[in-house]
Amino acid sequence: MNTGNNRTFLLRDVNLHVKEGEFISIMGPSGSGKSTLLNVIGMLDEFNEGEYNFLHESVHKLKEKQRTGLYKQYIGFVFQAYHLIDELTVYENIETPLIYQNIKTSERKAMVADILDRFNIVGKKDLFPTQLSGGQQQLVGIARALIAKPKLLLADEPTGNLNSKQGEEIMNLFKELNNEGVAIIQVTHSEKNASYGSRIINLLDGMVVK
């Protein structure tokens, strides 16, 4: 990535192979490039050099539209600040990704009902995000990330804004999801949370530390 005249590498020589169904934790101090790596994997950020193969596609060769199509279908995001849309209810928040995948209303209804049921938040479906606790909001965030049945879940410090009890619940949920076959890559500061994963990658100044 270029800034001004100096060429600064936000990420450098990162060589990572993620298998289907894997659970990876990325660790490292602030500014080490964890989030950038996650964004690149999530196809939100572009990169200047190198290759990125996702399933059978070469992401670096794809056009924007195809890329959007790809991550829409296969990738779900969970954020530290939840990033729910304040103006929409829980139900609508969860439904949104399906709208963008042009899924029919009746089908959407069934899918959202399923996931509400599964996360035990049926009673909260008509509330707005601000009426929920942090843990509940994050639950909705995860539900929204999973609604389109992605193969890969990207989580940027999903428990960063939660207390330890809520955090633990979320991590257990992740574990459960992973067991069902969803690959997860999470960025975390906590050793404890990292230990939920099957592999830990340490980053320092944009490079992978062994």
Q: Does 190 help bind another protein (rule: CB under 8 A)?
A: no
> Is residue 143 within 8 Å of residue 121, measured between CB atoms?
yes
Q: Does 49 help bind another protein (rule: CB under 8 A)?
A: no
CB of 198 to another protein, least distance (A): 26
- Residues 70-109 vs another protein: string with x where CB under 8 A? -xx----x-xxx-xxxxx--------xx--xx--------
CA nearest to 185, candidates 56, 18, 73, 71: 18
Relative to beta strand 23-27, strand 183-187 is parallel
Place of tokens 């509940």: 136
Considering only 65-73, 119-127, 179-187, 198-206, which stretch makes contact with another protein by CB under 8 A?
Answer: 65-73
Relative to beta strand 152-156, strand 183-187 is parallel
Say how far apart CA 197 and CA 191 lie, in whole Å. Answer: 10
Q: Does 45 help bind another protein (rule: CB under 8 A)?
A: yes
CB nearer to another protein: give 36 or 136.
Answer: 36
CB nearer to another protein: give 27 or 84.
Answer: 84
By CB under 8 A, the residues from 128 to 157 that bind another protein are 144
CB of 210 to another protein, least distance (A): 26
Which parts of 79-162 fold into alpha helices (H)? 90-100, 105-118, 134-146
- Terminal CA-CA length for the chain: 24
At 181, the amino acid letter reads G
Binding site for another protein (CB under 8 A): 30, 35, 39, 42, 44-45, 65, 68, 71-72, 77, 79-81, 83-87, 96-97, 100-101, 144
